[in-house]
Amino acid sequence: MIDLRSDTVTKPSETMRAAMMSAQVGDDVYGDDPTANALEERVAALFGFDAGLFTPTGSLANQLAIRQLVKPGDEILTETFSHIVRAELGAGAVFSGITTRTWEAPRGILKAADPLHIARPHSGPYQVSTTAIAIENTHNFGGGTVQSIDEIRRLRDESLKFEIFMHLDGARIWNAHVASGVSFLEYGKYFDTVSICFSKGLGAPVGSMMLSNKERNISARQWRKRYGAGMRQIGMLAAAANYALDNNIDRLSVDHKHAQSLAQAVHAVADHVVNPVEVETNIVILNLSGLLTDAADLSASLKAAGILSSPVGPKILRLVTHLDISDDDVAKVNSVLPELIERALEA
């Protein structure tokens, strides 16, 4: 199967597995795993933070971060289709008593004025106060869109005036960096907390990280244990992440090229289904409105041809490229998918 459901489906390479097998390990709950400790220091320095905390999932990294910024009963603002509010199953409310309000943005693209317009900091004893704003970069359900560093900077400048914190859901910040050329240090300097992920485009089997200052990191480590995510000999997982950082960042441009090829092939037969100009990284969103097929049926037809995809709405199909997708795989998809779409136009 050619698996385009997500970039989370990648499998560790033989060389990554070798790095995992040779890793030095210790008990991380006691702070004794040398490979995990070194990884946390490395990634924190990469983004300009004091400390990092390895987590098994990006959702946990996000939740630990926003818990440090928002008190129970206060609110965080984020875009309507962001991962924090759409794909983390209400964890902020369930675990931390955090209220959420959202703004809607086409393709998830940040305009600083949007969250600032609805922000209500220091609202007194009778209304909910805005304490933090979360930005997702790249924006998953927006189609892998890269957020403008100018808009991020503008939002930071204005939010500081109101003492509002900022969190970056940077699960695919690696893709944003490769696509935009903006450095990790530049991204990091505008946020109080950052989450990053090793198990998407970078191809590690598991693992994410929360970045912040040392005080928040100490608190987050306690909450990680409280949530049942204190881990023991995790050096093997940290070694996979280290390997990914060493070998798999620059090659993300290949995933972006593959996504662009898929978009152009579909656009050639149905220009309203996808606009290649809007495909900035490794995610292709197909809007099937106006076609005599829906996302589930098209996904089933693709599966019958040996191609897996993700229906994310009745008329929305998502394709995600990654390091396990080859040029030959893209060529096969480009020979099958446009034909299926063309049939749906003619039916």
The structure tokens 């589930």 sit at 296
Could you tell me the two tokens for 164?
């509002």
Say if pTM beats, i.e. exceeds, 0.85: yes
- Fold match between 11-247 and 252-346? no
CA–CA separation, 151 and 146 (whole Å): 11
CA–CA separation, 259 and 322 (whole Å): 9
Domain boundaries, the chain: 11-247, 252-346
Sign of CA dihedral 25, 27, 32, 37: positive
Q: Which architecture, in CATH terms, is 11-247?
A: 3-Layer(aba) Sandwich (3.40)
Q: Which architecture, in CATH terms, is 252-346?
A: Alpha-Beta Complex (3.90)
CB neighbours of 131 closer than 8 A, spacing ≥ 6? 69, 70, 71, 74, 75, 76, 121, 164, 165
Closest CA to 150 of 118, 211, 108, 109: 109
**Which pLDDT score, from 0 to 100, does residue 346 have?**
72
Length reported for the chain:
347
**Which pLDDT score, from 0 to 100, does residue 347 have?**
59
Closest CA to 121 of 79, 70, 84: 70
CA–CA separation, 314 and 231 (whole Å): 39
* Average pLDDT along the chain, 347 residues, taken 10 residues at a time: 97 97 96 97 98 98 98 97 95 96 97 98 95 98 97 98 98 98 98 98 97 97 96 97 98 98 97 97 96 95 98 96 98 97 84
Q: Phi-psi category of 209—alpha, beta or left, where left has phi over 0 and alpha has psi -120 to 50? A: beta
CA–CA separation, 59 and 223 (whole Å): 14
The answer to whether 313 and 295 have CB atoms below 8 angstroms apart is yes
Angle at 104 between CA 99 and CA 106, to 5 degrees: 150
